[in-house]
Amino acid sequence: HLKYQKDANIDLISINDFSYYDSMIDTIVMLGCEPKEYQDLDGIDRYFAMARGDKNHKALPMTKWLNTNYHYFVPQIEPKQNFIPNTEKIESEYNEAKELGIKPKINIIGPVTFLVFSRGVSGNDPLDEIEGIVDAYAKILKKISNLDENITIQFDEPAFVKDPTKKMLDALSYAYTKLGDISKNIDIFVSTYFEHALEAVDILVNCNIKGIGLDFVHGPKNIEAVKKIEQSDKILVAGVVDGRNIWISDIKEKVEFLNSLDIDKNRVYVASSCSLLHVPYTLKYEEKLDKNIKSWLCFAVEKLDEINLIYKLYKNIPLDEKESLILEKNIDANRTRKSSLQIHDKEVQERLSNLTKKSRDTDATERLKIQHKVLKYPILPTTTIGSFPQTPEVRKTRREFNQGLISLDEYKKRIKEFIDYAIKIQEEADLDIFVHGEFERNDMVEYFSQMLKGVTFSQNGWVQSYGSRCVKPPIIFGDICRQEPMTIEWITYAQSKTQKIVKGMLTGPVTMLNWSFVRDDLPKESVYKQMAIAIADEVKDLQDAGIKIIQVDEAAFKEGYPLRKENRSEYERVAVESFKISTAPADAQTQIHTHMCYSDFNDIMETIEVIAILVFPIFLILFIVGFISNPTN
């Protein structure tokens, strides 16, 4: 990846961003603060014990990196934590880059973010260790200052886009006041991303650092910080190429934006909005994508060319023949994207504009009385969340069908056998409400996306979720509608095998979007609600087919939450309205369940209560199961 960046004329090429598993584990090793339980191991064995565990060690806990689908491993910090700096990885990668003729920029997770994203092992606040960790970072800077005549370091401090506390801001001031004075041959840049960081900028402009990196794609309020940076002596690293989504930039529009900033051009660097970790690697090997759709996409390698072009046009540097051709293609693709009938479906747009049924007709109290009579379940009914394990036999069946090794009839026969087995297990366990097991589904989002108009998939668009685990998100490129029933065949078959109620199992509109690459040419609210209508059509068909309980899962409900509290009420409004639309066709006697997971919900319980009232109190029973499995909730 160093050569790709060099070939794209990127000036500051990052090192120390390669990882065997996770950058936070790399930082733990750099700081020598591996938890005590791993001290019986050394080197790579210790590293992978923290990452994956082994027969004698549990892996470190994981959680989401801000509001992305990337998971990082949570450092465990003791009171008066001992730090033992280790610069071996940095030195190795730096020297490797120099051998390739590259003078690199060293990327390091900043000390404050490292502590804020850590967990105290005995209820202690990791941020109390700010003096000790800054001393460790100071030793690291002194060591690597000997690598070259001049060194450039980027410290990532994304913790400051989440309503930073005074304690965090005091720690930021302490850290960069001290680190900025360590060595005259080190230029320090501090970067944030995914939202605005105005409070941090107020402090950083007064520290002895070289520059400040800001995300202008997902943090538009950062424009308010430009004047303060201009009045200081700092460089502005302007993140204008979207590092989180896969759509082409409007290059001319990006240049116009940069020209509108009230700052000397000589003090502006052009960059991506964040690390390109969050997008697929390259379009180069995408041979099956529709030609038009492919022209509207931009993966990591292609984003390097965008950065280069924007920089040259902004600085009035002439383009060579290859660059001029890339710009011409960019202009043409942006033009066709605005008018293509592949994207813009008048019927879908009119249906959303004229939508009148946006919620269920009867209130929860009335529905509850009716459902008790119709469904006849006990006071505390038992059920499961939904999916059964995807066993090797299930995966083999799907793989053989996809490779054309078995017929559709044989595939359906095997899936029905798996469903028979799931029903038998639930009969033996005497559960009250059954599920069909979801054996036909490869993924709770991908399965539905494959049957929706306006959604497509790449061949190789894998994105790291954690370690060696990658996902291939659907690409929502156009107006969305359901073209045919998606689950009826399997759910009705399962229901035919038992007298117990079998739930219909759907993925909700919020989760569908939060786990996809979403088009950026339409307000996201409209995309949520188009998806909600598609799910509503399936709810209606399930109900008409005699399915009495339908579960609409919102596993990623929390994932989409804005990082700033000031923006959360709007997200909650859109998310709740979309969920209501998706379940609106359900009659009073049809019961709706939902399921949320993968997050800590303490700070959004009021919103969950609103949804629970809309759905039905059995949701709370499912949620209690979540409490049992994750006591931090």
Condensed to tens digits (0 to 9), the pLDDT of residues 279-304 reads 999 999 999 999 999 999 999 999 99
Q: Which domain holds residue 573?
A: 346-354+364-375+383-625
- pLDDT-derived band at 612, boundaries 50, 70, 90: low
> Which of 113-127, 463-477, 609-623 comes out lowest in average pLDDT?
609-623
Angle formed at CA 360 by CA 582 and CA 495, multiple of 5 degrees: 65
Q: What is the rounded distance in angstroms from the CA atom of residue 410 to the CA atom of residue 400?
A: 10
Does residue 39 lie within any of the structural domains? no
- Residue 625: the pLDDT is 43
**Residues 235, 302 share a domain:** yes
198: in domain: yes
What kind and span of H or E run contains 186? Answer: strand 186-191
Is residue 321 located within the same domain as residue 350? no
Q: Indicate if the pLDDT at residue 396 is higher than 70.
A: yes
pLDDT of residue 556: 87
Task: Give one DSSP letter per residue of 278-307, joined into a string.
Answer: GS-S-STT--SS-HHHHHTB--HHHHHHHH
Q: What is the pLDDT of residue 618?
A: 41
Q: Quick check: 225 pLDDT over 60?
A: yes
Residue 395's pLDDT is what?
Answer: 95
Regarding whether 414 and 327 lie in a shared domain, the answer is: no
Q: Are 236 and 201 in contact (CB under 8 A)?
A: no
Percent of the chain with pLDDT over 70: 95
In a domain, 34, yes or no: no
- The answer to whether position 42 is within a domain reads no
**pLDDT reading at 599 higher than 90:** no
pLDDT exceeds 90 at position 248: yes
Each residue's pLDDT tens digit, 178-201:
999 999 999 999 999 999 999 999
The reported pLDDT for the residue numbered 292 is 97
Total tally of structural domains belonging to the chain: 2
With respect to residue 69, please indicate whether it lies within any of the assigned structural domains: no
**Residue 632 falls inside a structural domain:** no
What's 97's domain CATH number?
3.20.20.210
Residue 389 and residue 296 share a domain: no
32-41 pLDDT, tens digit each: 999 999 999 9
Find the largest Cα–Cα distance for the chain.
80
Pair 208, 243 in one domain: yes
Beta strands per DSSP E along 398-503: 433-434, 452-456, 463-466, 469-471, 475-482, 501-502
What mean pLDDT is predicted for residues 533-549?
97
Q: Rounded to an integer, what distance in angstroms lies between the CA atom of residue 276 and that of residue 245?
A: 9
> pLDDT value at position 559?
84
Distance CA 158, CA 64 (A): 13
C-beta separation of 182 from 138 below 8 A: yes
> Residue 69 phi/psi, 5° resolution?
-95, 10
Q: What is the pLDDT of residue 455?
A: 98
In a domain, residue 55? The reply is no
Domain assignment present for residue 486? The answer is yes
pTM, full prediction: 0.93
Confidence (pLDDT) at 602 = 67
pLDDT band (50, 70, 90) for residue 631: very low
Do 497 and 610 have their domain in common?
yes
Per-residue model confidence (pLDDT) at position 431 = 95
Is there a single domain that holds both residue 285 and residue 423?
A: no
Residues 307 and 391 in one domain: no
Alpha helices per DSSP H over 10-63:
23-31, 43-52
pLDDT band at 624 (very low <50, low <70, confident <90, very high): very low
Q: What mean pLDDT comes out for the span 357-383?
A: 88
What is the model's pLDDT at position 346? 96
Write down the pLDDT at residue 555: 87
Q: What is the per-residue pLDDT for 601?
A: 64
What per-residue confidence (pLDDT) applies to 326? 97
- Note the pLDDT tens digit of each residue in 502-518: 999 999 999 999 999 99
| Same domain, residue pair 299 and 350 | no
Are 290 and 420 members of one domain? no
How distant, in Å, are the alpha carbons of 256, 352, 563, 569 from that of 530? Answer: 32, 7, 25, 21
Mean pLDDT, range 15-21, rounded to an integer: 95
Q: Please give the torsion angle defined by the CA atoms of residues 318, 319, 320 and 323, in that order, rounded to the nearest 10 degrees.
A: 170
Tell me the C-alpha distance between 457 and 538, whole Å.
22
